[in-house]
Amino acid sequence: MADLSVNIAGVEFKNPVIPASGTFGYGREYGRFYPLSKLGGIATKGTTLESRLGNLAPRIAETPSGILNSVGLQNPGIDKFIRVELPNLMKQETVIIVNIAGSTVEEYIEVAKKLEETDAHMIELNISCPNVKEGGVAFGVSCDSAAGITAAVRKVTKKPLIVKLSPNVTDIAGIAKAVEAEGADAVSLINTLLGMRIDIRTGRPVLRNNVGGLSGKAVFPVAVRMVWQVANAVKIPVIGMGGVATANDAIELMMAGATAVQVGTAMFANPFAPIEIIDGINEYLDKNGISSVREIIGSVKSW
- Tell me if 230 sits within 8 A of 207, measured CB to CB: no
pLDDT at 212 > cutoff 70 = yes
CA-only gyration radius of the chain, Å: 18
| Domain contains 303 | no
| Domain contains 200 | no
Q: What are the phi and psi torsion angles at 79 (to 5°)?
A: -65, -45
Q: b vs e for 199-213, b when ≥16 Cβ sit within 10 Å of the residue's Cβ?
A: eeeeeebbbebeebb
pLDDT at 51 > cutoff 70 = yes
| Domain contains 302 | no
Which residues contact residue 247 at a Cβ distance below 8 angstroms, ignoring those fewer than 6 apart? Answer: 276, 277, 278, 279, 280, 281, 283, 284
Active-site entry in 39, 68, 129, 163: 129
| Domain contains 26 | yes
- Structural domain of residue 27, as residue ranges? 6-56+73-194+216-296
The 10s digit of each residue's pLDDT in 151-162 is 999 999 999 999
SS3 162: strand
d(CA 214, CA 62): 9
| Domain contains 208 | no
- Tell me if 124 sits within 8 A of 164, measured CB to CB: yes
Identify the pLDDT of residue 72: 93
| Domain contains 130 | yes
pLDDT at 132 > cutoff 80 = no
pLDDT at 137 > cutoff 80 = no
| Domain contains 203 | no
SS3 285: helix
pLDDT band at 133 (very low <50, low <70, confident <90, very high): confident
Identify the pLDDT of residue 210: 97
Identify the pLDDT of residue 129: 82
Residue 129 a catalytic site member:
yes
d(CA 141, CA 137): 8
What CATH number did the domain enclosing 109 receive?
Answer: 3.20.20.70
State the average pLDDT over residues 40-68. Answer: 96
State the average pLDDT over residues 20-32. Answer: 95
| Domain contains 207 | no
The 10s digit of each residue's pLDDT in 144-202 is 999 999 999 999 999 999 999 999 999 999 999 999 999 999 999 999 999 999 999 99
Looking at the whole model, is its pTM more than 0.85?
yes
Q: How many domains in the chain?
A: 1
